[in-house]
Chains A and B, each alone.
Chain A
Amino acid sequence: MSLKRLSLLIIIALLALVAVQCGPSPTPEATEEAAEAPLFYAAFATPIEEPWDGVIHAALQEAADAGQIQYEWTDDIGYAGDMERVLREVAETKKPAAIFGDAFGNEEAVRRVAADYPEIAFVFGSGLGPADPNLSVFDNWIHEPAYLCGLIAGGVTESNVIGVVGGYPVPEVNRIVNAFIYGVKEVNPDATVLVTFINSWFDPPAAKEAALAQIDAGADVLFAERFGVIEAAVEHDLYAFGNMSDQYELGPGHVLTGPVWDMRPTVQYIIQQVEAGSYTAMDLKDFSMMAKGGAYLAPFHGMEEKIPADILQLVQQREEEIKQGLFRVPIDEATPPSSS
Chain B
Amino acid sequence: MDTFLVNLIAATLRVATPLLLAAIGETYIERAGVLNLGIEGMMFFGAFVGFFVADVTGSLWLGFWVAVLSGVLSGLLMALFSVTFGVNQHVSGLGITLLLGGLSLFAFRLKYGGRSVPPSIEPFPQLSPFKDVPVLGTLFEQYLFTYVAFLVIVPLAWWLLYRTSFGLNIRSVGENPEAADAAGVNVFLIRYITLAIGGGLIAAGGAFLSLAQLGAFTHGIVSGRGWVALALVIFGNWDPVKVMWGALIFGGTFALQLRLQAMGLNLPIPYETFLALPYVVTIVALVIAGRNATYPAALLKPYRRE
Is A199 located at the chain interface by the 8 A CB criterion? yes
B208 to A: closest C-beta gap in Å: 9
Interface size of B by CB at 8 A reads 54
Is B209 located at the chain interface by the 8 A CB criterion? yes
Assess the B117–A163 pair: CB atoms within 8 A: no
Give 1 or 0 for each of A47-73: 1 = CB within 8 Å of chain B CB.
111110011001001000000000000
CA distance A196 to B263 in the complex (A): 10
Assess the A209–B258 pair: CB atoms within 8 A: yes
Which chain B residues lie closer than 8 Å to A247 at the CB level?
Answer: 116-117
| Those of A1-32 within 8 Å (CB) of chain B | 1, 3, 6-7, 10-11, 13-14, 17-18, 20-21
Which chain B residues lie closer than 8 Å to A86 at the CB level?
Answer: none
Interface stretch of the complex, out of B25-33, B92-100, B127-135, B155-163? B92-100
Assess the A194–B85 pair: CB atoms within 8 A: no
A160 to B: closest C-beta gap in Å: 13
B273 to A: closest C-beta gap in Å: 11
| Those of B1-34 within 8 Å (CB) of chain A | 3-4, 7, 11, 14-15, 18
Is A305 located at the chain interface by the 8 A CB criterion? no
Assess the B223–A192 pair: CB atoms within 8 A: no
**Which of B108, B216, B265, B271 sits near A197, CB closer than 8 Å?**
B271
Assess the A209–B11 pair: CB atoms within 8 A: yes
Give 1 or 0 for each of B207-235: 1 = CB within 8 Å of chain A CB.
00100011110111101000000000000
Which chain A residues lie closer than 8 Å to B118 at the CB level?
Answer: 49, 204, 227, 250
Assess the B259–A200 pair: CB atoms within 8 A: no
**Which of B105, B215, B264 sits near A47, CB closer than 8 Å?**
B105
Given contacts A17-B102, A245-B117, is CB(A338)–CB(B265) below 8 Å? yes
Given contacts A163-B262, A209-B15, A216-B4, is CB(A202)–CB(B98) below 8 Å? no
Given contacts A13-B95, A210-B262, A213-B11, is CB(A245)–CB(B116) below 8 Å? yes
In the complex, which residue of chain B has the Cβ closest to the Cβ of A245?
A: B116
Assess the B261–A3 pair: CB atoms within 8 A: no
Is A246 located at the chain interface by the 8 A CB criterion? yes
Which chain B residues lie closer than 8 Å to A196 at the CB level?
Answer: 258, 261-262, 271
Is B255 located at the chain interface by the 8 A CB criterion? yes
B137 to A: closest C-beta gap in Å: 14
| Those of B71-129 within 8 Å (CB) of chain A | 81, 85-88, 91-92, 95, 98-99, 102, 105-106, 108-109, 113-118, 120, 123
Give 1 or 0 for each of B263-276: 1 = CB within 8 Å of chain A CB.
11111000110010
CA distance A310 to B115 in the complex (A): 35
Assess the A338–B11 pair: CB atoms within 8 A: no
CA distance A314 to B216 in the complex (A): 35
**Which of A7, A169, A249 sits near B117, CB closer than 8 Å?**
A249
Is A150 located at the chain interface by the 8 A CB criterion? no
Assess the A200–B92 pair: CB atoms within 8 A: no
In the complex, which residue of chain A has the Cβ closest to the Cβ of B106?
A: A20
Given contacts A10-B91, A227-B118, is CB(A204)–CB(B214) below 8 Å? yes
Which chain A residues lie closer than 8 Å to B65 at the CB level?
Answer: none
Given contacts A200-B220, A203-B223, A205-B209, is CB(A17)–CB(B120) below 8 Å? no
Which chain B residues lie closer than 8 Å to A203 at the CB level?
Answer: 220-221, 223
Assess the A47–B272 pair: CB atoms within 8 A: no
**Which of A214, A245, A337 sits near B266, CB closer than 8 Å?**
A337
| Those of B241-267 within 8 Å (CB) of chain A | 254-255, 258-259, 261-267
CA distance A339 to B264 in the complex (A): 4
Which chain B residues lie closer than 8 Å to A204 at the CB level?
Answer: 118, 214, 216, 218, 220-221
| Those of B198-213 within 8 Å (CB) of chain A | 209, 213
Which chain B residues lie closer than 8 Å to A54 at the CB level?
Answer: 116
Which one of A50, A61, A250 has the greatest number of beta carbons of chain B within 10 Å?
Answer: A250
Assess the B261–A213 pair: CB atoms within 8 A: yes
Is A231 located at the chain interface by the 8 A CB criterion? yes
Assess the B275–A198 pair: CB atoms within 8 A: yes
Which chain A residues lie closer than 8 Å to B216 at the CB level?
Answer: 204, 227-228, 231, 250
* B residues neighboring A (CB under 8 Å): 3-4, 7, 11, 14-15, 18, 81, 85-88, 91-92, 95, 98-99, 102, 105-106, 108-109, 113-118, 120, 123, 209, 213-216, 218-221, 223, 254-255, 258-259, 261-267, 271-272, 275
Complex A-B, nearest 8 residue pairs according to Cβ-Cβ distance, in ascending order: A339-B264, A202-B220, A245-B116, A213-B258, A203-B223, A216-B7, A217-B262, A213-B262
Apart from A10-B87, A209-B15, what 13 extra A-B contacts exist at CB < 8 Å? A10-B91, A10-B95, A14-B91, A14-B98, A55-B116, A202-B219, A202-B220, A203-B221, A209-B14, A227-B216, A231-B216, A250-B120, A338-B261
